[in-house]
Amino acid sequence: MKKGLKYGGIALGVIVVLALIGGFTINYRGIPSYEVNIPDYQLNSTPESIARGKKLTLTLCAGCHRDPETGQLTGAQMKDAPAEFGTIYSQNITQDKEYGIGDWTPGELMYLLRTGIKKDGQYAPPYMAKLPLMADEDIHAIISFLKSDDPIVAAINKPDQPSEVGFLTKLLCNIAWKPFPLPENRIEMPDTTNKVELGKYLAHNLDCYSCHSADFKTNDFLEPTQSAGYFGGGNPTLNLEGEVVPTANLTPHPTGIGDWTEAEFILAVKSGIKQGEPKLRYPMAPYALLTDYEVGAIFAYLQTIPPVENEVERVFEEKEAKMD
Ligand code: HEC
Ligand code: HEC
Protein backbone atom coordinates (compact mmCIF):
# COMPACT_ATOMS: atom_id res chain seq x y z
CA MET A 1 0.00 0.00 0.00
CA LYS A 2 2.65 2.43 1.14
CA LYS A 3 4.98 1.24 -1.63
CA GLY A 4 2.22 1.75 -4.17
CA LEU A 5 1.74 5.27 -2.92
CA LYS A 6 5.46 5.92 -3.12
CA TYR A 7 5.72 4.72 -6.73
CA GLY A 8 2.58 6.58 -7.58
CA GLY A 9 4.16 9.67 -6.03
CA ILE A 10 7.35 9.23 -8.06
CA ALA A 11 5.39 8.75 -11.29
CA LEU A 12 3.35 11.85 -10.52
CA GLY A 13 6.54 13.77 -9.76
CA VAL A 14 8.02 12.72 -13.09
CA ILE A 15 4.86 13.81 -14.92
CA VAL A 16 4.88 17.18 -13.16
CA VAL A 17 8.55 17.73 -14.01
CA LEU A 18 7.98 16.77 -17.67
CA ALA A 19 4.97 19.07 -17.87
CA LEU A 20 7.02 21.92 -16.39
CA ILE A 21 9.86 21.35 -18.87
CA GLY A 22 7.32 21.25 -21.73
CA GLY A 23 5.67 24.40 -20.41
CA PHE A 24 8.96 26.30 -20.09
CA THR A 25 10.05 25.19 -23.56
CA ILE A 26 6.83 26.42 -25.14
CA ASN A 27 6.90 29.64 -23.16
CA TYR A 28 10.48 30.23 -24.29
CA ARG A 29 9.93 29.12 -27.89
CA GLY A 30 6.84 31.30 -28.17
CA ILE A 31 4.89 31.47 -31.39
CA PRO A 32 6.53 29.28 -34.03
CA SER A 33 7.90 30.53 -37.34
CA TYR A 34 7.51 28.87 -40.72
CA GLU A 35 9.25 28.91 -44.04
CA VAL A 36 8.04 31.68 -46.36
CA ASN A 37 7.53 30.63 -50.00
CA ILE A 38 5.92 33.50 -51.84
CA PRO A 39 4.95 32.75 -55.43
CA ASP A 40 5.20 35.40 -58.17
CA TYR A 41 2.47 37.91 -57.54
CA GLN A 42 1.60 40.87 -59.74
CA LEU A 43 -0.63 43.67 -58.54
CA ASN A 44 -2.68 45.19 -61.35
CA SER A 45 -4.97 47.63 -59.57
CA THR A 46 -7.90 49.25 -61.34
CA PRO A 47 -10.37 51.80 -59.95
CA GLU A 48 -12.87 48.92 -59.73
CA SER A 49 -10.56 46.63 -57.78
CA ILE A 50 -9.67 49.45 -55.37
CA ALA A 51 -13.35 50.26 -54.78
CA ARG A 52 -14.19 46.59 -54.22
CA GLY A 53 -11.17 46.27 -51.91
CA LYS A 54 -12.25 49.30 -49.91
CA LYS A 55 -15.65 47.78 -49.26
CA LEU A 56 -14.11 44.42 -48.25
CA THR A 57 -11.46 46.05 -46.05
CA LEU A 58 -13.96 48.26 -44.26
CA THR A 59 -16.28 45.30 -43.78
CA LEU A 60 -13.68 42.69 -42.82
CA CYS A 61 -10.55 44.35 -41.44
CA ALA A 62 -11.43 47.78 -40.06
CA GLY A 63 -13.35 46.36 -37.08
CA CYS A 64 -10.05 45.13 -35.67
CA HIS A 65 -7.48 47.49 -37.23
CA ARG A 66 -9.21 50.85 -36.88
CA ASP A 67 -7.62 52.86 -34.10
CA PRO A 68 -10.10 54.98 -32.12
CA GLU A 69 -7.29 57.53 -31.60
CA THR A 70 -6.42 58.19 -35.26
CA GLY A 71 -9.63 56.95 -36.89
CA GLN A 72 -7.28 55.17 -39.33
CA LEU A 73 -6.02 51.62 -39.62
CA THR A 74 -3.15 52.12 -37.18
CA GLY A 75 -4.16 49.24 -34.89
CA ALA A 76 -6.01 48.86 -31.60
CA GLN A 77 -6.30 46.64 -28.57
CA MET A 78 -8.49 43.56 -29.10
CA LYS A 79 -10.62 44.10 -26.02
CA ASP A 80 -12.85 41.15 -26.87
CA ALA A 81 -10.05 38.57 -27.02
CA PRO A 82 -10.36 36.11 -24.12
CA ALA A 83 -7.98 37.17 -21.30
CA GLU A 84 -6.17 33.78 -21.35
CA PHE A 85 -4.88 34.65 -24.83
CA GLY A 86 -2.99 37.65 -23.45
CA THR A 87 -3.24 41.36 -24.18
CA ILE A 88 -3.51 41.49 -27.94
CA TYR A 89 -3.09 44.45 -30.28
CA SER A 90 -3.79 44.54 -34.00
CA GLN A 91 -1.07 46.30 -35.99
CA ASN A 92 -0.63 49.45 -38.04
CA ILE A 93 -1.60 48.52 -41.62
CA THR A 94 -1.40 52.00 -43.16
CA GLN A 95 1.26 52.51 -45.82
CA ASP A 96 3.84 53.74 -43.33
CA LYS A 97 7.16 52.07 -44.15
CA GLU A 98 8.39 51.87 -40.58
CA TYR A 99 5.36 50.56 -38.68
CA GLY A 100 2.74 49.90 -41.32
CA ILE A 101 2.78 47.74 -44.42
CA GLY A 102 4.52 50.25 -46.71
CA ASP A 103 7.46 47.88 -47.03
CA TRP A 104 5.37 44.72 -47.60
CA THR A 105 5.15 43.53 -51.19
CA PRO A 106 1.70 42.61 -52.57
CA GLY A 107 2.88 38.97 -52.60
CA GLU A 108 3.78 39.11 -48.91
CA LEU A 109 0.35 40.52 -48.09
CA MET A 110 -1.37 37.83 -50.14
CA TYR A 111 0.71 35.16 -48.40
CA LEU A 112 -0.25 36.41 -44.93
CA LEU A 113 -3.95 36.71 -45.79
CA ARG A 114 -4.05 33.19 -47.22
CA THR A 115 -1.79 31.27 -44.85
CA GLY A 116 -1.37 33.35 -41.68
CA ILE A 117 2.42 33.51 -42.12
CA LYS A 118 3.96 36.98 -41.91
CA LYS A 119 6.82 38.06 -44.13
CA ASP A 120 9.34 37.37 -41.36
CA GLY A 121 7.97 33.81 -41.09
CA GLN A 122 6.11 34.33 -37.84
CA TYR A 123 2.67 32.79 -37.58
CA ALA A 124 -0.21 35.17 -36.83
CA PRO A 125 -2.53 33.38 -34.36
CA PRO A 126 -6.26 33.04 -35.13
CA TYR A 127 -7.01 36.46 -33.65
CA MET A 128 -5.76 37.79 -36.99
CA ALA A 129 -8.28 36.91 -39.73
CA LYS A 130 -7.27 34.62 -42.61
CA LEU A 131 -8.94 34.21 -45.96
CA PRO A 132 -8.25 30.64 -47.14
CA LEU A 133 -11.46 30.40 -49.21
CA MET A 134 -11.79 33.88 -50.69
CA ALA A 135 -11.69 34.27 -54.47
CA ASP A 136 -8.33 35.39 -55.89
CA GLU A 137 -10.03 38.43 -57.37
CA ASP A 138 -11.30 39.57 -53.95
CA ILE A 139 -7.93 39.05 -52.22
CA HIS A 140 -6.38 41.04 -55.06
CA ALA A 141 -8.97 43.78 -54.49
CA ILE A 142 -8.11 44.04 -50.78
CA ILE A 143 -4.40 44.33 -51.57
CA SER A 144 -5.13 46.90 -54.31
CA PHE A 145 -6.93 49.00 -51.74
CA LEU A 146 -4.25 48.62 -49.05
CA LYS A 147 -1.68 49.81 -51.61
CA SER A 148 -3.88 52.61 -53.02
CA ASP A 149 -3.74 56.33 -52.32
CA ASP A 150 -7.05 56.28 -50.45
CA PRO A 151 -6.80 58.53 -47.35
CA ILE A 152 -7.87 55.65 -45.06
CA VAL A 153 -4.62 53.82 -45.74
CA ALA A 154 -2.34 56.87 -46.08
CA ALA A 155 0.89 56.43 -44.10
CA ILE A 156 0.70 57.30 -40.41
CA ASN A 157 3.92 56.87 -38.47
CA LYS A 158 2.34 55.47 -35.32
CA PRO A 159 4.30 52.67 -33.61
CA ASP A 160 2.73 49.24 -33.23
CA GLN A 161 1.82 48.19 -29.71
CA PRO A 162 3.44 44.85 -29.03
CA SER A 163 1.02 42.15 -27.85
CA GLU A 164 1.68 40.39 -24.57
CA VAL A 165 0.91 36.93 -25.78
CA GLY A 166 -0.37 34.57 -23.07
CA PHE A 167 0.86 31.03 -22.45
CA LEU A 168 -2.37 29.53 -23.83
CA THR A 169 -1.84 31.24 -27.19
CA LYS A 170 1.76 30.01 -27.35
CA LEU A 171 0.69 26.49 -26.37
CA LEU A 172 -2.11 26.31 -28.95
CA CYS A 173 0.15 27.76 -31.66
CA ASN A 174 2.57 24.92 -30.97
CA ILE A 175 0.12 22.03 -30.76
CA ALA A 176 -3.16 22.93 -32.45
CA TRP A 177 -3.25 26.04 -34.65
CA LYS A 178 -1.34 25.76 -37.89
CA PRO A 179 -0.98 27.96 -40.99
CA PHE A 180 -3.30 27.19 -43.91
CA PRO A 181 -1.81 25.90 -47.14
CA LEU A 182 -1.79 28.24 -50.14
CA PRO A 183 -4.69 27.17 -52.38
CA GLU A 184 -3.39 24.91 -55.15
CA ASN A 185 -5.70 26.34 -57.78
CA ARG A 186 -7.14 29.72 -58.51
CA ILE A 187 -10.37 30.33 -56.56
CA GLU A 188 -12.99 31.85 -58.84
CA MET A 189 -15.65 34.38 -57.85
CA PRO A 190 -19.13 32.94 -57.28
CA ASP A 191 -21.80 33.34 -59.97
CA THR A 192 -23.43 36.51 -58.66
CA THR A 193 -26.67 35.83 -60.56
CA ASN A 194 -27.10 32.65 -58.52
CA LYS A 195 -28.33 34.00 -55.19
CA VAL A 196 -27.69 30.84 -53.19
CA GLU A 197 -24.15 30.48 -54.52
CA LEU A 198 -23.34 34.13 -53.87
CA GLY A 199 -24.90 33.88 -50.39
CA LYS A 200 -22.78 30.85 -49.50
CA TYR A 201 -19.63 32.66 -50.62
CA LEU A 202 -20.47 35.71 -48.50
CA ALA A 203 -21.64 33.69 -45.47
CA HIS A 204 -18.27 31.93 -45.44
CA ASN A 205 -15.91 34.72 -46.49
CA LEU A 206 -17.46 37.50 -44.43
CA ASP A 207 -17.03 35.19 -41.45
CA CYS A 208 -20.73 34.96 -40.54
CA TYR A 209 -20.42 31.18 -39.96
CA SER A 210 -17.36 31.53 -37.74
CA CYS A 211 -19.27 33.51 -35.10
CA HIS A 212 -22.66 31.90 -35.72
CA SER A 213 -21.67 28.22 -35.33
CA ALA A 214 -21.31 26.46 -31.95
CA ASP A 215 -17.84 27.61 -30.91
CA PHE A 216 -14.70 29.16 -32.43
CA LYS A 217 -12.78 26.13 -31.18
CA THR A 218 -14.75 23.66 -33.30
CA ASN A 219 -14.93 25.67 -36.54
CA ASP A 220 -13.57 24.10 -39.69
CA PHE A 221 -11.96 26.98 -41.56
CA LEU A 222 -11.26 25.02 -44.75
CA GLU A 223 -14.67 23.27 -44.84
CA PRO A 224 -16.99 25.69 -43.01
CA THR A 225 -20.07 23.46 -43.45
CA GLN A 226 -18.27 20.85 -41.30
CA SER A 227 -18.10 23.24 -38.33
CA ALA A 228 -19.88 21.93 -35.22
CA GLY A 229 -23.41 23.36 -35.01
CA TYR A 230 -23.00 25.05 -38.41
CA PHE A 231 -24.94 28.35 -38.16
CA GLY A 232 -26.86 27.00 -35.13
CA GLY A 233 -25.57 29.85 -32.91
CA GLY A 234 -24.78 29.79 -29.20
CA ASN A 235 -21.07 30.63 -29.64
CA PRO A 236 -20.19 32.54 -26.44
CA THR A 237 -18.57 35.63 -27.99
CA LEU A 238 -17.41 38.49 -25.76
CA ASN A 239 -18.34 42.14 -25.90
CA LEU A 240 -15.91 44.97 -25.07
CA GLU A 241 -16.71 44.68 -21.36
CA GLY A 242 -15.77 41.01 -21.44
CA GLU A 243 -19.39 39.87 -21.01
CA VAL A 244 -20.70 36.88 -22.96
CA VAL A 245 -23.05 37.64 -25.85
CA PRO A 246 -24.14 34.31 -27.38
CA THR A 247 -24.55 34.38 -31.16
CA ALA A 248 -27.94 33.85 -32.78
CA ASN A 249 -29.15 30.70 -34.53
CA LEU A 250 -29.36 31.57 -38.26
CA THR A 251 -30.62 28.20 -39.53
CA PRO A 252 -34.11 27.76 -41.04
CA HIS A 253 -35.56 26.32 -37.83
CA PRO A 254 -38.29 27.98 -35.72
CA THR A 255 -35.62 28.52 -33.00
CA GLY A 256 -33.48 30.19 -35.69
CA ILE A 257 -34.65 32.47 -38.49
CA GLY A 258 -37.18 29.94 -39.86
CA ASP A 259 -40.04 32.43 -39.69
CA TRP A 260 -38.10 35.58 -40.68
CA THR A 261 -38.79 37.48 -43.88
CA GLU A 262 -35.97 38.61 -46.13
CA ALA A 263 -36.79 42.24 -45.27
CA GLU A 264 -36.44 41.59 -41.52
CA PHE A 265 -33.11 39.89 -42.15
CA ILE A 266 -31.78 42.75 -44.26
CA LEU A 267 -32.80 45.28 -41.59
CA ALA A 268 -31.08 43.27 -38.85
CA VAL A 269 -27.85 42.67 -40.77
CA LYS A 270 -27.44 46.13 -42.29
CA SER A 271 -28.76 48.26 -39.41
CA GLY A 272 -28.73 45.98 -36.35
CA ILE A 273 -32.45 46.58 -35.89
CA LYS A 274 -34.84 43.91 -34.61
CA GLN A 275 -38.50 44.86 -34.31
CA GLY A 276 -39.63 45.08 -30.65
CA GLU A 277 -36.20 44.25 -29.24
CA PRO A 278 -33.07 46.22 -28.33
CA LYS A 279 -30.52 46.63 -31.13
CA LEU A 280 -28.14 43.81 -31.92
CA ARG A 281 -25.10 44.11 -29.73
CA TYR A 282 -21.36 43.94 -30.25
CA PRO A 283 -19.61 41.89 -31.59
CA MET A 284 -22.43 41.81 -34.18
CA ALA A 285 -21.64 44.98 -36.12
CA PRO A 286 -24.01 46.42 -38.74
CA TYR A 287 -22.93 45.48 -42.27
CA ALA A 288 -23.90 48.84 -43.70
CA LEU A 289 -21.80 48.55 -46.87
CA LEU A 290 -23.42 45.35 -48.13
CA THR A 291 -26.17 45.80 -50.71
CA ASP A 292 -29.70 44.51 -50.11
CA TYR A 293 -29.03 42.03 -52.90
CA GLU A 294 -25.94 40.65 -51.12
CA VAL A 295 -27.68 40.33 -47.75
CA GLY A 296 -30.72 38.83 -49.51
CA ALA A 297 -28.34 36.29 -51.06
CA ILE A 298 -27.02 35.32 -47.61
CA PHE A 299 -30.64 34.91 -46.50
CA ALA A 300 -31.40 32.73 -49.53
CA TYR A 301 -28.39 30.52 -48.77
CA LEU A 302 -29.31 30.18 -45.09
CA GLN A 303 -32.73 28.86 -46.14
CA THR A 304 -30.98 25.89 -47.79
CA ILE A 305 -28.82 24.67 -44.87
CA PRO A 306 -29.82 21.97 -42.33
CA PRO A 307 -32.05 23.40 -39.59
CA VAL A 308 -30.58 23.24 -36.08
CA GLU A 309 -32.82 23.26 -33.02
CA ASN A 310 -31.14 25.61 -30.58
CA GLU A 311 -33.01 28.24 -28.61
CA VAL A 312 -30.53 31.06 -27.91
CA GLU A 313 -31.92 33.48 -25.36
CA ARG A 314 -30.87 37.11 -25.65
CA VAL A 315 -29.98 38.04 -22.08
CA PHE A 316 -30.04 41.74 -21.22
CA GLU A 317 -28.83 43.78 -18.34
CA GLU A 318 -31.69 45.84 -17.00
CA LYS A 319 -30.08 49.08 -18.18
CA GLU A 320 -30.05 47.76 -21.73
CA ALA A 321 -33.61 46.46 -21.59
CA LYS A 322 -34.82 49.93 -20.53
CA MET A 323 -33.14 51.60 -23.47
CA ASP A 324 -34.99 51.64 -26.79
C1 HEC B 1 -10.30 39.74 -35.49
C2 HEC B 1 -9.37 40.85 -35.61
C3 HEC B 1 -8.65 41.06 -36.94
C4 HEC B 1 -9.21 41.12 -38.20
C5 HEC B 1 -10.66 40.93 -38.58
C6 HEC B 1 -8.13 41.41 -39.09
N7 HEC B 1 -6.95 41.53 -38.42
FE8 HEC B 1 -5.09 41.87 -39.23
N9 HEC B 1 -4.26 41.63 -37.41
C10 HEC B 1 -4.94 41.42 -36.22
C11 HEC B 1 -3.98 41.21 -35.15
C12 HEC B 1 -4.33 40.97 -33.69
C13 HEC B 1 -2.71 41.30 -35.74
C14 HEC B 1 -1.37 41.09 -35.05
C15 HEC B 1 -1.02 39.64 -35.24
C16 HEC B 1 0.21 39.23 -34.53
O17 HEC B 1 0.65 39.92 -33.62
O18 HEC B 1 0.75 38.17 -34.89
C19 HEC B 1 -2.92 41.55 -37.16
C20 HEC B 1 -1.89 41.70 -38.09
C21 HEC B 1 -2.07 42.05 -39.42
C22 HEC B 1 -1.01 42.31 -40.36
C23 HEC B 1 0.49 42.20 -40.07
C24 HEC B 1 1.00 43.57 -39.76
C25 HEC B 1 2.42 43.58 -39.29
O26 HEC B 1 3.03 44.64 -39.39
O27 HEC B 1 2.89 42.54 -38.80
C28 HEC B 1 -1.60 42.64 -41.55
C29 HEC B 1 -0.90 43.02 -42.85
C30 HEC B 1 -3.03 42.58 -41.35
N31 HEC B 1 -3.28 42.22 -40.05
C32 HEC B 1 -3.98 42.84 -42.33
C33 HEC B 1 -5.33 42.57 -42.18
C34 HEC B 1 -6.29 42.65 -43.26
C35 HEC B 1 -5.99 43.10 -44.69
C36 HEC B 1 -7.49 42.27 -42.75
C37 HEC B 1 -8.81 42.11 -43.47
C38 HEC B 1 -8.86 41.15 -44.55
C39 HEC B 1 -7.28 41.97 -41.34
N40 HEC B 1 -5.96 42.16 -41.04
C41 HEC B 1 -8.29 41.56 -40.47
C42 HEC B 1 -6.30 41.39 -36.06
C43 HEC B 1 -7.23 41.33 -37.08
C1 HEC C 1 -17.91 38.73 -34.55
C2 HEC C 1 -19.01 37.78 -34.47
C3 HEC C 1 -20.13 37.89 -35.47
C4 HEC C 1 -20.03 37.95 -36.84
C5 HEC C 1 -18.76 37.96 -37.71
C6 HEC C 1 -21.38 37.98 -37.34
N7 HEC C 1 -22.28 37.96 -36.31
FE8 HEC C 1 -24.31 38.05 -36.47
N9 HEC C 1 -24.49 38.09 -34.45
C10 HEC C 1 -23.44 37.98 -33.57
C11 HEC C 1 -23.96 38.07 -32.20
C12 HEC C 1 -23.15 38.01 -30.92
C13 HEC C 1 -25.37 38.21 -32.32
C14 HEC C 1 -26.37 38.38 -31.17
C15 HEC C 1 -26.42 39.84 -30.80
C16 HEC C 1 -27.39 40.15 -29.69
O17 HEC C 1 -27.97 39.22 -29.12
O18 HEC C 1 -27.57 41.33 -29.40
C19 HEC C 1 -25.65 38.22 -33.74
C20 HEC C 1 -26.93 38.38 -34.27
C21 HEC C 1 -27.25 38.30 -35.61
C22 HEC C 1 -28.59 38.36 -36.16
C23 HEC C 1 -29.88 38.49 -35.36
C24 HEC C 1 -30.58 37.16 -35.31
C25 HEC C 1 -31.57 37.01 -34.21
O26 HEC C 1 -32.28 35.98 -34.20
O27 HEC C 1 -31.61 37.87 -33.31
C28 HEC C 1 -28.48 38.22 -37.52
C29 HEC C 1 -29.60 38.21 -38.54
C30 HEC C 1 -27.05 38.08 -37.83
N31 HEC C 1 -26.35 38.15 -36.64
C32 HEC C 1 -26.53 37.90 -39.12
C33 HEC C 1 -25.17 37.89 -39.40
C34 HEC C 1 -24.64 37.84 -40.75
C35 HEC C 1 -25.45 37.71 -42.03
C36 HEC C 1 -23.27 37.88 -40.64
C37 HEC C 1 -22.22 37.95 -41.74
C38 HEC C 1 -22.41 38.96 -42.76
C39 HEC C 1 -22.97 37.96 -39.21
N40 HEC C 1 -24.13 37.95 -38.50
C41 HEC C 1 -21.69 38.02 -38.69
C42 HEC C 1 -22.10 37.86 -33.87
C43 HEC C 1 -21.56 37.90 -35.15
> Across all residues in the chain, what is the average pLDDT?
92
Measured in Å, residue 19 CA sits from the centre of ligand 2 at 40
Alpha-carbon distance values, 208 to 34, 216, 224, 233, 299 (Å): 29, 12, 10, 10, 12
Average pLDDT score over residue span 202-213: 97
- In this structure, what are the phi and psi dihedrals at residue 52, rounded to the nearest 5 degrees? -60, -45
Q: Quote the CA–CA distance of 90 and 75 in Å, as a whole number.
A: 5
pLDDT digits (tens, 9 = 90+) for 158-196: 999 999 999 999 999 998 899 999 999 999 999 999 999
State whether CATH 1.10.287 applies to domain 195-314: no
Ligand 2 neighbours (beta carbon < 6 A)? 206-208, 211-212, 237, 245, 247-248, 250, 257, 265, 268-269, 274, 280-281, 283-284, 287, 298, 314
Tell me what percent of the residues of the chain surpass a pLDDT of 90: 81
**Tens of pLDDT, residues 10-45:** 777 777 777 777 777 777 778 999 999 999 999 999
DSSP code of residue 117: B
Question: Could you tell me the pTM of the whole model?
Answer: 0.92
pLDDT at 324: 45
Residues with CB under 6 A from ligand 1: 57, 60-61, 63-65, 78, 88, 90-91, 93, 101, 109, 112-113, 118, 124, 127-129, 142, 163
Give the DSSP letter of residue 235. Answer: -
Report the pLDDT value the prediction gives residue 322, as an integer from 0 to 100: 45
Q: Supply the residue whose CA is at minimum distance from atom 21 of ligand 2.
A: 248
pLDDT of residue 5: 67
Domain parsing of the chain, residue ranges: 47-175, 195-314
- Listing DSSP states for 54-85 in one string gives HHHHHHHTHHHH--TTTSSSS--B-TTS-GGG
- Name the residue type at position 269: V
| Domain 47-175 fold | Cytochrome Bc1 Complex; Chain D, domain 2 (1.10.760)
Q: Is the pLDDT of residue 130 over 80?
A: yes
| Segment 278-295 mean pLDDT | 96
Q: Do the domains 47-175 and 195-314 sit in the same CATH topology, yes or no?
A: yes
Is the confidence at residue 112, as pLDDT, over 80? yes
Ligand 1: distance of its center to the CA of 163 in Å? 12
Asked if 235 contacts 246 with a C-beta cutoff of 8 angstroms, the reply is yes
121 alpha carbon, closest ligand: 1
Q: What is the percent of the chain with per-residue pLDDT over 70, rounded to a whole number? A: 96
Task: Check whether 318 has a pLDDT greater than 60.
Answer: no
Q: Whose CA is nearest to atom 37 of ligand 2?
A: 208
Report, as an integer, the average pLDDT of 51-59.
Answer: 98
**pLDDT tens per residue across span 225-278:** 999 999 999 999 999 888 999 999 999 999 999 999 999 999 999 999 998 899
Ligand 1 centroid distance, CA of 159 (Å): 15
